[in-house]
Amino acid sequence: MKIAFLADPLSTFKIYKDTTYAMMVEAARRGHELYAFRHRDMAIEGGRVVANIARVHLTGNGDDWYQAEPAVARALTDFDAVLERTDPPFDMEYIYATYLLEVAQNHGAKVFNRPEAIRNHNEKLAIAQFPQLTAPTLVTTDNARIRAFHREHQDIILKPLDGMGGAGIFRVREDGMNLGSIIESLSDNGRRTIMVQRYIPEIVDGDKRVLLIGGEVMPFGLSRIPQGGEVRGNLAAGGLGVARALTPREREIGETVAPTLWQRGLLLVGLDVIGNYLTEINVTSPTCFQEIEQQTGFSVAAKFIDALERAAGVV
């Protein structure tokens, strides 16, 4: 296959942990050709979507891990698969990119995850489609509603709908310390919608990343365990990543949502599960492949490329 990776600059990859890099290594091992480009490289010209795309060769050298040929303008329909692997923030430029990808898809390009599915699944709000799996949750701009939710549940988490890596997450306990200023800050004095959830004590054992690939639940996940008094388990916030087999409840959650998400065109999904509850559905650029393989020997990248080959119709 010719696989085009729509990703952040390759020079910024931390290859010891980067999931896109793991995908590239496995794809190259099978003889697939690798290409790379960025959102800003795309354009609509003459009604079709083209991009300045560079062929990439892996060197096997950790310090200088790739060589890129000069970028050439090519139509996205020239490739067997286009993988959207750009990290958040999910801002307007990201949304515009999904519109361009959708145009390319309408002309026959095979894009994973499907651009409209990425756009339609806010990684925080998407859990509202599966209320039977979630802890008590409030989404609002309203100060009074948030205060009433706190009075009912006493210990709560507040977070923005567009955050990543644990940014902007606050815990407010029974005493309500700083609740007012947190609401004002996160909601921009009622102008921005935020999410509020009952605190889940099991976070001390980790926020588990459960991976879904091609509608199948992977047997191992990565528990991101808060460190140093933090309430956040995100690796970007200093959490410790420990790979573990899924619990029966985690598998149940995965198997409940997987068919629906796969049907919508989401080849790769990263669920976040705390205790018995689904807390996020990550669809933009799910990670944790390398940490799971390094600790368990289970090649998530191999399962992903298997699924990609099937979805692209080459096997």
Annotated active-site residue 175? The verdict is no
The verdict on whether 224 is a catalytic residue reads: yes
Q: Are 9 and 20 in contact, with CB atoms under 8 Å apart?
A: no
Q: Which of 113, 122, 234, 282 is catalytic?
A: 282
Catalytic residue, candidates 26, 280, 291, 309? 280
232 is catalytic: yes
Chain position carrying tokens 């990425």:
118
* Per annotation, catalytic residue among 38, 85, 114, 224: 224
- CA pair distance 214, 231, nearest whole angstrom: 32
Catalytic, out of 38, 159, 198, 208: 159
> What phi, psi does 182 have (nearest 5°)?
-65, -45
Active site residue 272: yes
Residues 36-61 as b/e (b if ≥16 CB within 10 A, e otherwise) read bbbbeebeeeeeebbbebbbbebeee
Q: Which of 26, 207, 250, 272 is catalytic?
A: 272
**Candidate list 85, 114, 209, 303, residue with the active-site label:** 209
Catalytic (active site) residue 249 = no
In the chain, which ranges are E strands?
A: 2-6, 33-37, 42-45, 48-58, 66-68, 72-75, 81-84, 111-112, 137-140, 156-160, 170-172, 194-198, 207-213, 216-217, 220-225, 240-245, 268-274, 277-282
Q: Looking at 110, 124, 208, 303, which residue is catalytic? A: 124
For tokens 């729509």, name the residue.
6
Active-site residue (options: 110, 119, 232, 303)? 232
Q: For 107-168, give the DSSP string.
A: TT--EES-HHHHHH--TTGGGGG-GGGS-SEEEES-HHHHHHHHHHHSSEEEEETT--TTTT
Whether 310 sits among the annotated catalytic residues: the reply is: no
State how far the alpha carbon of 247 is from the alpha carbons of 67, 275, 281, in Å. Answer: 42, 10, 18
Q: Which candidate, 49, 155, 127, 115, places its Cα nearest to that of 284?
A: 115
Q: Which residues are catalytic?
A: 124, 159, 209, 224, 232, 272, 280, 282
